[in-house]
Amino acid sequence: MLKDDFPSQQRWPLAKVIQVFTGDDDLVRTVDILCKGKTYRRAIMLIITADQPFPPSMSGSNKTEV
């Protein structure tokens, strides 16, 4: 999912990562994504995988699951 400024995570659009770019430290820093028929380049911190739970800071709750 592509993190967006929509107030509800349910409205965040689905996207497909089509290319990754690493930094000087060989860690992925940026990705090209395909979303709604267009290609965008976004920082990895704006990408949330659909198979992971939302981080506590984005879930609207202060509780942390362990």
Task: Give the pLDDT of residue 3.
Answer: 59
φ/ψ bin of 58: left (φ > 0), alpha (ψ from -120 to 50), beta (otherwise):
alpha
- The residue ranges of every structural domain in the chain are 9-46
- Determine the pLDDT at residue 32: 96
Q: pTM value?
A: 0.61
Q: What is the pLDDT of residues 46-65, one digit of tens each?
A: 887 776 555 555 444 444 44
Nearest of 37, 2, 3, 42 to residue 19 by alpha carbon: 42
Q: What is the mean pLDDT of residues 13-33?
A: 93
Predicted confidence (pLDDT) at residue 29 exceeds the cutoff of 80: yes
pLDDT of residue 61: 45
Better-predicted residue by pLDDT, 12 or 29: 29
